[in-house]
Amino acid sequence: MSKSILPRLVRAILLSAALPLGAQAAAPAPRLDFSPEQWELARSVARQPGLAAWYGSTALAPVFTAPEAAPRRIALIEAAAQAPVHGLPSIYGVEQLQGLEGRTDPEAEVTFAKAFARWTHDVGGGILDPRRVDPENKRDVIRVPTEELLARFVAAPDPAAMLAQVPPQNDGYRALQQALAARVGPVVGADVPTVPEGVWREGMRDEAVARLRARLAAMGFAAEGAEADLFDAPLARQVAAYQARAGLGPDGVAGPRTIQRLNGGPGSAPRDLLIALERMRWLNGHDLNARLIWVNLPEFNVRVMEGGRTVFESRAVIGKDKEGWRTPEFSDELQNVVVNPSWNVPRSMALRDYLPRLQKNRHAVAHLDVVDSRGRVVARDGIDFSRYTAKNFPYRLRQKPSDDNALGEVKFIFPNPMNIYLHDTPSKGLFGERTRAFSNGCIRVQKPVDLAHVLLEGAAADPAATYAGARESGRERFLKTEPLPVHLVYLTTIADEDGTIRHFPDVYGRDDAVWTALQKAGGMETLASTR
Choose among 415, 378, 419: nearest CA to 395: 378
Axis-axis angle for helices 256-263, 233-246 (nearest 10): 70
Strands 410-413 and 396-399, how do they pair?
Answer: unpaired
Choose among 2, 28, 6, 5: nearest CA to 15: 28
Catalytic residue of the set 121, 442, 453, 487: 442
Backbone angles phi, psi at 47, to 5 degrees: -95, 10
Helix, strand, coil shares of the chain, percent, nearest 5, are 40, 15, 45
Q: CA-to-CA distance for 56 and 43, rounded, in angstroms?
A: 11
Q: CA-to-CA distance for 280 and 308, rounded, in angstroms?
A: 14
H-run or E-run covering 316: strand 309-319
For the question of residue 423 being annotated catalytic, the response is yes
Q: CA-to-CA distance for 408 and 406, rounded, in angstroms?
A: 6
Choose among 132, 170, 173: nearest CA to 279: 173
Sign of CA dihedral 41, 42, 43, 48: positive
Q: CA-to-CA distance for 286 and 379, rounded, in angstroms?
A: 48
- Before 84, cis peptide (omega within 30)? no
For the question of residue 442 being annotated catalytic, the response is yes
Q: CA-to-CA distance for 177 and 273, rounded, in angstroms?
A: 8
The amino acid sitting at 225 is G
Q: CA-to-CA distance for 531 and 79, rounded, in angstroms?
A: 21
H-run or E-run covering 480: strand 477-489
Q: 226-238: b or e for each residue (b if 16 or more CB lie within 10 Å)?
A: eeeebbbeebbeb
- Could you give the C-alpha distances from 505 to 139, 198, 298, 362, 430, in angstroms and in order? 21, 28, 6, 43, 18
- Could you give the C-alpha distances from 361 to 353, 364, 381, 391, in angstroms and in order? 13, 5, 11, 20
Long-range contacts of 249-256 (CB under 8 A, 24+ apart): 250/500, 252/201, 252/202, 253/199, 253/200, 253/201, 253/202, 254/195, 254/199, 254/200, 254/201, 254/212, 255/199, 255/200, 256/197, 256/199
Choose among 386, 396, 392, 402: nearest CA to 419: 396
User: Beta partners for 369?
Assistant: 398
Catalytic residue of the set 121, 423, 453, 487: 423
Q: CA-to-CA distance for 447 and 58, rounded, in angstroms?
A: 56
Q: Which residues are marked as active site?
A: 423, 442
